[in-house]
Homo-oligomer: A and B are copies of this chain.
Amino acid sequence: MANADNASTRDHSPHDHAQCIDDALDAAAEICARRGARLTPLRRRVLELVWAGHEAVKAYDLLAKLDAGAKPPTVYRALDFLVAHGLVHKLESLNAYVGCPRPQTAHEGQFLICDTCGLVDEIDAPELNSQLVERAAIAGFAPQRQTVEVHGRCAACGGSRS
């Protein structure tokens, strides 16, 4: 029973993905404007490419889709900017990137990554977050950044049901 209203950002159900891209670009423009950050054509283009789907994207794949002749620093710099502004998250366990569906509010991403179809679902689990912080505090540890990535099978690929 797929349910578009559950807490997931997105599943692989058919949807108007052009809308996802538009939303992401619009949100990015607004956020950058508000902060005085420059969403240059290059950065905008990279963001658009990252949002080609709801899957993780590799830096060199982006590179290949930019005008021929683009060099690695070009794409890495754009990604650095996008990550710094929370428009894109880096998935450490994949060395890949994914668009952030809720860039308006600063947050660490927590991800469900389907190893079968590649879908990346960013979940919003504040209770998880606070448990992690609390748990760290017990050890006298001051958290600054967290990586939470769960690999497995999404619902569409036969996760809990089929």
CA distance A149 to B115 in the complex (A): 20
With the chains together, A161 CA to B138 CA distance in Å? 11
A147 CB contacts on chain B under 8 angstroms: 92-93, 147-151
Contact partners of A37 in chain B: CB under 8 A: none
- CB contacts (< 8 Å) of A6 on chain B: these are 138-139
| A142 touching B160, Cβ below 8 Å | yes
Main secondary structure of the interface of A (DSSP, over half): mixed
A135 within 8 A of B: yes
A115 near B144: Cβ-Cβ < 8 Å: yes
Judge whether A154 and B141 touch: CB under 8 Å: yes
Sorting the interface of chain A by its residue count into under 10, 10 to 19, 20 to 34 or 35 or more gives 35 or more
B125-A148 in contact (CB<8A): no
Binding stretch for chain B, among A16-24, A98-106, A126-134:
A126-134
Chain B residues contacting A155 (CB-CB under 8 Å) are 139-141
Q: Which residues of B contact A142 (CB under 8 A)?
A: 152-153, 158-160
Residues from chain B with a CB closer than 8 A to the CB of A112 are 136, 139, 141, 143
